[in-house]
Structure 1
Amino acid sequence: MAVADPTLEFEQSLFEGGASFVIGCDEVGRGAIAGPVGVGMSVVAPGMAGIPVGLRDSKMLSEKKRELLAPLASEWALHSAVGLASADEVDRLGITACLGLAGKRALTALHEAGVAIRSSVILLDGHADWLSPALASPLRVRTQVKADRDCASVSAASVIAKVHRDRMMIEADSRIPGYGWAGNKGYGSAAHYEAIALLGPSELHRLSWLKQPALG
């Protein structure tokens, strides 16, 4: 097994602590200047095995490998969901609140699919709990640094969310041309800023995030 291969060891410790399910959770698009911020979630249960071969944190994979792994990760997880918050919501509410909003929307989708949210533990990558403030009632949320690398439930959520958002941005290339969405996925490359200076910001841009020189 490679060092970067995620396992279910940490999730197993949460099952031993009484969790019925572990809901791995990771965000995507947080640092983009355009497009939505997304939160992916994948549900695992005690006794699960068969982690997809090659599963990694999405940042450690090429676009081609992510595309191949995303359906495998979705099939492996008991359930999965991606919640989104729009660029306009990011401008109005701020990025941290929108992470919580997108996470709440993903949790709602899982609840509607029949997942027992209240007896689950939600496992967030990192050290900050940005989800709990968005919830109307408290749930069991656990943070873990490098969970996207080490915990298979979070790695799966990472890949599922990244591919979902990337496909949205690629589709936008034909609908709102000129910004190179298929290549930059909404992140702030030099060519992207040049396009903004030439064309002005689009409906997908987070206006509060644009550097003033780029606005021309």
Structure 2
Amino acid sequence: MAGFQLAYRGELLAGVDEVGRGPLAGDVVTAAVILDPRQPIQGLADSKQLSETRREQLAEQIREKALYWHIARASVAEIDSYNILQATLMAMARAVDGLAVEPEYVAVDGNRMPRWRYTSETVIKGDALVPAISAASILAKVCRDAEMCQFDQQYPGYGFAAHKGYGTAQHREAIAQLGPCPIHRRSFDPVRSMLAASQRQLR
């Protein structure tokens, strides 16, 4: 993370990231984290580059040591209604709005941010460059992965615990065999195409 500097140098910096834009099922989950400079957390990195065990260890430290953190989401219904980008931006705004204190500055992973009142900047690959964004990435992923494991029990046969809702060959085959379940995104293919084909057959 050396060599990169945000425009902000104070302590009330909120990092924001999302998990779950690409999957065929489940909510998009976001987190906002304000780290405590007096309690640094070693090993923060892009959540996708960490093992499941390491993510869970770091998530526990973040929840204990961060000054403030909040997890938010946009539902499958909102994703289907507004599109995944707008739903993600809504979830990001909810994550920051849910913090117990208003941040002085917000750093958002990626190149898009919500329209909001906060002074902020986007950071490409921010989850590898800004520790607060890394922390947000970790919290969001640990939360969403746990939820998908719960859905694996609720909706057996789809393999949610393994692929976390992403469009793997196994997942697509399960959708073709079982049809979509309530947590599948109707606006995403192949679910959308399958439902459209079913409607044509009914006419």
For residue 14 of structure 1, give the secondary structure of its aligned residue in structure 2. coil
Contact 1:7 1:151 in 2 (8 A): no
Give unmatched runs, 5+ long, in structure 2. 198-203
Question: How is 1:123-162 mapped onto 2 (pairs within 5 angstroms)?
Answer: 123-129=107-113, 131-132=114-115, 135=116, 138-162=117-141
TM-score (norm 1): 0.83
Q: Which residue of 2 aligns with 1:121?
A: 105
Give the AA of the match of 1:25.
V
- Residues 4-36 of structure 1: CA distance to partner in whole angstroms, max 9, x if unpaired? xx469735x502xxx551000111001111100
Tell me, which stretches of 5 or more residues in structure 1 are unaligned? Answer: 1-5
Question: How many angstroms does 1:123 deviate by?
Answer: 0.2
Report the RMSD for the aligned CA atoms in angstroms.
Answer: 2.1
Once the 2 structures are TM-superposed, how far is the Cα of residue 176 of structure 1 from its aligned partner? 1.4
Contact 2:25–2:76 (Cα < 8 Å) also in 1: yes
Aligned 8 A contact 1:194 1:214 in 2: no
In structure 1, the partner of 2:77 is 88
% same residue = 37
SS in 2 for 1:84: strand
- Residue type matched to 1:62 in 2? S
The aligned counterpart of 1:189 is: 168
Q: Partner residue of 2:21?
A: 30
Residue 25 (structure 2) pairs with residue 41 (structure 1): no
Could you say which residue in structure 1 is the equivalent of 2:5? 10
Q: What is the correspondence of 1:53-132 to structure 2 with a 5 Å cutoff?
A: 53-110=42-99, 113=100, 115-117=101-103, 120-129=104-113, 131-132=114-115
CA distance in 2, matches of 1:212, 1:205: 7
Equivalent residue, structure 1, for 2:152: 173
SS of structure 2 residue aligned to 1:208: coil
- Asked whether the 8 Å contact 1:8–1:153 carries over to 2, the reply is no
Residue identity matched to 2:126: A
